């Protein structure tokens, strides 16, 4: 590793802004708190994985339900068309 130190690519340093000593406006503080609460997710990776899996299965069910509904709608339409044709054939 010491032989190839010059080949290593280092990322640029990240500057950390310290909070200003001055008073923060109450509305700004409320917005910051709200953002922090919204961004706060589930802690453990396993829980995040379960949540993701749950959302994926939910989306799959939603798509499957939608396709089934469209299929049933199409079948009803075809049945109505056949009934209309049958009514007019008898004349």
Answer yes or no: pTM beyond 0.75. no
Return all residues near 51 (Cβ < 8 A) that are at least 6 apart. 42
pLDDT tens profile 51-64: 889 999 999 999 99
- Greater model confidence, 30 or 24: 30
Please state the domain extents for the chain. 44-91
pLDDT for position 2: 74
Task: State which of 30-34, 37-41, 46-50, 87-91 shows the largest mean pLDDT.
Answer: 30-34
Mean pLDDT of the region 71-79 = 97
């Amino acid at each position: 590793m010491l032989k190839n130190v010059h080949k290593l690519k280092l990322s640029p340093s990240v500057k950390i802004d310290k909070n200003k000593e001055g008073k923060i406006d109450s509305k700004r503080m409320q917005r910051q708190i709200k953002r922090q609460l919204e961004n706060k997710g589930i802690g453990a990776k396993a829980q995040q994985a379960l949540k993701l899996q749950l959302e994926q299965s939910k989306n799959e069910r939603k798509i499957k339900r939608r396709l089934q509904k469209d299929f049933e709608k199409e079948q009803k339409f075809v049945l109505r068309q056949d009934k209309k044709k049958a009514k007019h054939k008898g004349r």
